[in-house]
A = this chain, B = another copy of it.
Amino acid sequence: MSPVNVTIASGASWQEVAADRQRHRDATIASLNPPLPKLSASDIPLDTTGIPGSILTAKELEITEKNVEDLVSLLASGQWSAKTVVQAFMRRAAVAQQLTNCVTEILSERALQRAAELDDHLAATGQPVGPLHGLPISVKEHVGMKGYDLNAGFVAWVGQVGEEDALILQILWDAGAVFYVRTTQPQTLMHLETRSNLYGTTVNPFNTTLTAGGSSGGEGALVGLRGSVLGIGTDIGGSIRSPAANNGLFGFKPTALRLPVSGWSATMAGSDHIVGTIGPLSTSLEGVSLFVRTILSGRPWLREPSLVPIPWRGKDQLEERARGRKLRVGVIWDDKVVRPHPPILAALSRVVAELQKSDEVDVIEWECWKHDLAWEVIAKLYFCDGAAEEKAAIAASGEPLLPLSKWILENPHVREHTISTLWQAHEERQAYRTSYAAIWNERDVDVILCPAGPGVAPKLETARYWGYTSQWNLLNYPAVVFPVGTKVSREESAQGKQDNKEHEYPEAYKPMSEADQYNYDLWKEHGVDGYVGAPVSLQLVGRM
């Protein structure tokens, strides 16, 4: 790393700052050894996921096709060295960057030095340093690293440097992790897509006309292409789950105040009206679980005292809950605000049909209670200063306000609060949470199965509806996104039309809301062909 000299403070224009950051990124990639071929736009198909196989070595492919649980085992036993593994992932990440524009920098020097330390330790002691010994982990840019730029997606913030590694990185480091790549995020961190004036747009590796999601969209695309199998994202309205869902990954938003967030950079420091969370995106559920278990076993609450000391309960709690009766799964088909696109409902139909075959599960229809009100309540608390800090951070460099920034910062619920209106909004938040909890108590379900968004990965610049994810941020319930294993395809849709009404909107469908009209129009405009290749994902929500 080196200090960033081209900054607004040094007199550069926002365009010069962005160009310099991109040069830096490219330089970190160019330094990889062996070097990678430079792809031209015409080399990149709509579905990019086959490209790494044509560029990487067989060994690199073998390594990067493994999931977290296999990698930690191979690394701990010394069958693969940490150096070999991280080199393979750095090279695959470099390919992913060319395909989707998901990387802000590759940390090859730091990563190779760390890997060498770990390899030496294992050789000397015969023991791994911890449960993540040698595991490469990718990191969203705004999670601070000591000595590295920490711009949080604002041009004006380039030149700010992490004072120390974020606490979550310190704990993962102690467990043996290797940090090797940092990833893109949108302006304001408050899009469900990933576009900034620093790096441009991150696209979806399964269909480059679609978004990778956001705000952890660099992680989504990178892990989607297996340039990482475990990445760190952040989520205050869907920012882990949208990219996970859009890229066919597992993504977990924990209950707030369980995993440590100190050391991240964002606007509104000190705002705790809706509490943001940090969590994993992974190619496997075990990757998610190992991540959370490892951090909790580091007892982060002793160092970040706002956290609550709840240990990992694994499956015990569910089994406890369900003991003596079937597991009760509530199903949300739609939230009565926006009907999900046909591929989501079709997938949900199939999953529900499978659950209904089980002797151990009861499926209950979950009628949504005022999810439109939920959006009002949370949107009123996102930017309590009227989005003054975001606007100031953008204005400071003269960078343009991007359309999805404008969409969220200027939504009709944003206001500059007084203490009095803030307390009222807190009371509305508490009243909503209490009412929803009472409904959950009455229905007595164990988990809710629901869409992860109003469709698969959206067309670029169209991800406006947050309700399927922000609902669970408002309620502060843990939620995990998972792939159902299918992708949007003409064949599947044609097949589905014959045996499942969920493969199209009902005839003469009347949208329920303005947001539903928008979502409906998107489907009418683009249809199956417009979203072809996109992975289909769903969401499971627990309580606490």
A512 at the interface (CB under 8 A from B): no
Give the segment of A243-251, A269-277, A347-355 that binds chain B: A269-277
Measured CB to CB, the nearest residue on chain B to A313 is B309
Interchain Cβ contacts under 8 Å between A and B, 5 examples:
A268-B423, A269-B427, A305-B434, A305-B475, A310-B310
Query: Which B residues touch A416, using CB under 8 A?
Result: 419
Asked if B301 and A544 sit within 8 Å, CB to CB, the answer is yes
A385 interface residue (CB < 8 Å to B)? yes
Give chain A interface residues in 166-185, CB to chain B under 8 Å. Answer: none
A271 (CB) vs chain B CBs: closest residue: B423
Interface residues of A in 273-313 (CB under 8 A from B): 301-306, 308-310
A543 interfacial contact with B, CB 8 Å: yes
Inter-chain contacts of A476 with B (CB < 8 A) = 305
A420 interfacial contact with B, CB 8 Å = yes
> In the complex the two chains form, is B422's CB within 8 Å of A270's CB?
yes
Give the distance to chain B from A164, nearest Cβ to Cβ, in Å: 12
Q: A301-B544, A308-B308, A309-B544 are in contact. Are A270 and B433 (CB under 8 A)?
A: no
Neighbouring B residues of A373 by C-beta, 8 Å: none
A426 interface contact, C-beta 8 A:
yes
Contact with B along A67-89 (1 / 0, CB 8 A): 00000000000000000000000
B residues less than 8 Å from A308 (CB atoms):
257, 308, 310, 544
Q: Smallest Cβ distance from A79 to chain B, in angstroms?
A: 35
Q: Which residue of B lies closest to A384 (CB)?
A: B419
Query: How distant is the Cα of A268 from the Cα of B422 in the complex, in angstroms?
Result: 11
Whether A305 pairs with B437 at a CB distance below 8 angstroms is: yes
How far, in Å, is A472 (CB) from chain B's closest CB? 12
Q: For the complex, give the distance between the alpha carbons of A271 and B418 in Å.
A: 12
* Given A417-B419, A419-B384, A423-B271: A430 in contact with B475 (beta carbons within 8 A): no
Q: Which residue of B lies closest to A426 (CB)?
A: B270
Q: Is the CB of B270 within 8 A of A424?
A: yes
**Complex Cα distance A180/B542, Å?**
39
What mask results when residues 251 to 269 of chain A are scored 1 for a CB within 8 Å of chain B, else 0?
Answer: 0000001000010000011
Any chain B CB within 8 A of the CB of A438? yes
| Chain A 404-431 interface residues, beta-carbon cutoff 8 Å to B | 416-420, 422-427, 430
Q: Complex: how many Å from CA A430 to CA B438?
A: 32
Q: Are B301 and A423 in contact (CB under 8 A)?
A: no
**Is A441 an interface position by the 8 A CB rule?**
yes
In Å, the complex CA distance between A422 and B388 comes to 14
Q: Which residues of B contact A301 (CB under 8 A)?
A: 544
- What residues of B have a CB within 8 angstroms of the CB of A475 in the complex? 305
Q: Are A309 and B309 in contact (CB under 8 A)?
A: no
What residues on B are CB-neighbors of A441 within 8 Å? 302-303
A433 touches B306 (CB 8 A): yes
User: How far is the CB of A513 from the nearest CB of chain B, in Å?
Assistant: 26
A423 to B389, alpha carbons, bound, how many Å?
A: 12
A543's contact among B269, B302, B430, by CB below 8 Å, is which? Answer: B302
Provide the A515-544 mask, 1 if CB < 8 A to any CB of B, else 0. Answer: 000000000000000000000000000011
